[in-house]
Every structure is written in structure tokens, then in C-alpha cells.
């Protein structure tokens, strides 16, 4: 299957962050039945599936979703591999121009988010890339709560709600996608 524009945008974003990934890994979810999520993220120990309008028109992945919004194969990947599978149909772009954010923070709804299927048939929504403000470790956590990244660094005073989804490095990576695709006219 060809790589969609949305998928190429995620490649640019992750390359900018120097996050390693395996593209389109084959996952055995049952005897003689494989599924290929968009990518496997080594450092996060997670799968990332990029859905797009282009996929929805031709891809069986878009069908047979249960009430959670995940397809049966997507749920199987998480359950069989005991690793989370993050799903998004959003581009890694920012919805507001840089001029709106001089010296200011971004709100949740300005940042691309993921649904996540955890193992054991649990799922959740509103996960975002975030960065530990101390060591720079990256993760995809609920509402971009960097406190939940599994490094040994001291956490915020709250202990759980230290948000850091709009760090300088992450915003630079989102902007990089804007720049590359504006330049190419896509
Ligand atoms: Zn850290």
C-alpha cells in the first residue's frame, strides 16, 4: 500500500524528533492472520496506526470497528502483543499560527491527539506526545502528562498532572511538518 500524505507527515514529525520506528511491521494476531499497523515505536514500546481519509476509502482497517472506534485487528494487536496501540486520523500539525503563541502556551485542542487501545481490552482517548522537562524522554501520555513518562526524573509537585505537550522541541517538530508540506504545496 502506498504511503499517504498523513503518514508522510508523521514520518517528518518523528524524524525531526529523532524517534526511531519500524515502518509497517507485520504482527501475527491469529494463526495465518497478520495485521500491519503503520509503525512500531521502539523507545515507547508501542504501535502507532495512522488512519486517514485516503485509507478510509480503500482500507479494510476502517471497517468492522466496535463501539470503542477500534477495529478488531487493532484490538488484537494490543492484546496479543501486550503493548498499547495508538490511533489517530489527525495530521501532526498545529491548528493555530505561531503569531498566536508568542510567549504563550498551547491549549489541548490545538495539539494532535490519539485514541489508545491498551492490552486487556481497555481503551482511552486524548493521548498526546509529551516530553520530560528534565531528561527529554518522549512519550505519548494522557493529555500530554509528562509526569507519566517512565523515566526516573523528579515529577511535578502534583505528581501526575505535569503537562508538557508543547515543549519547544515538540512545537519545533510540529512546525517542521507545516514547513515541509507548505513548501511542497500539499
Ligand atoms: Zn526524565
Q: Of residues 61 and 103, which shows the higher confidence score?
A: 103
Per-residue pLDDT at 98 exceeds 90: no
* Residue 123, Ramachandran bin (φ over 0: left; ψ between -120 and 50: alpha; else beta): beta
End-to-end CA distance of the chain: 20
* Residue 185, Ramachandran bin (φ over 0: left; ψ between -120 and 50: alpha; else beta): left
Compute the distance from residue 133 Cα to the ligand 1 centre, in Å: 7
DSSP 39: E
**Which of 7-16, 53-62, 131-140, 147-156 has the lowest average pLDDT?**
53-62
Per-residue pLDDT at 115 exceeds 60: yes
Per-residue pLDDT at 53 exceeds 60: no
Compute the distance from residue 135 Cα to the ligand 1 centre, in Å: 4
CA gap 154, 133 in Å, rounded? 10
Domain ranges of the chain: 5-184
CA gap 117, 47 in Å, rounded? 10
At 128, the pLDDT band (50, 70, 90 cuts) reads very high
Compute the distance from residue 93 Cα to the ligand 1 centre, in Å: 25
CA gap 131, 31 in Å, rounded? 38
Per-residue pLDDT at 58 exceeds 70: no
Compute the distance from residue 21 Cα to the ligand 1 centre, in Å: 21
Compute the distance from residue 16 Cα to the ligand 1 centre, in Å: 20
C-alpha cell recorded at residue 172: 519545533
Compute the distance from residue 45 Cα to the ligand 1 centre, in Å: 17
What is residue 78's predicted lDDT score, i.e. its pLDDT? 95
What is residue 11's predicted lDDT score, i.e. its pLDDT? 98
C-alpha cell recorded at residue 163: 503537562
Amino acid at each position: 500500500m502506498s504511503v499517504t500524505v498523513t503518514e508522510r507527515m508523521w514520518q517528518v514529525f518523528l524524524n525531526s524528533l529523532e524517534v526511531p520506528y519500524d515502518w509497517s511491521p507485520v504482527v501475527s494476531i491469529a494463526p495465518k492472520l497478520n495485521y500491519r499497523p503503520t509503525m512500531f515505536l521502539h523507545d515507547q514500546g508501542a504501535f502507532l496506526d495512522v488512519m486517514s481519509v485516503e485509507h478510509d476509502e480503500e482500507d479494510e482497517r476502517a471497517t468492522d470497528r466496535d463501539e470503542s472506534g477500534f477495529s478488531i485487528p487493532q484490538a488484537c494487536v494490543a492484546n496479543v502483543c501486550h503493548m498499547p496501540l495508538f490511533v489517530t486520523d489527525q495530521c501532526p500539525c498545529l491548528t493555530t499560527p505561531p503569531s498566536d503563541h508568542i510567549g504563550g502556551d498551547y491549549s489541548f485542542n490545538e495539539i494532535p491527539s490519539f485514541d489508545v487501545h491498551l492490552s486487556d481490552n481497555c481503551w482511552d482517548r486524548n493521548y498526546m506526545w509529551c516530553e520530560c522537562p528534565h531528561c527529554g524522554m518522549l512519550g505519548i501520555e494522557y493529555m500530554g502528562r509528562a509526569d507519566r513518562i517512565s523515566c526516573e526524573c523528579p515529577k511535578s509537585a502534583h505528581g501526575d498532572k505535569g503537562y508538557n505537550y508543547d515543549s519547544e522541541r515538540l512545537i519545533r517538530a510540529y512546525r517542521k511538518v507545516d514547513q515541509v508540506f507548505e513548501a511542497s504545496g500539499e
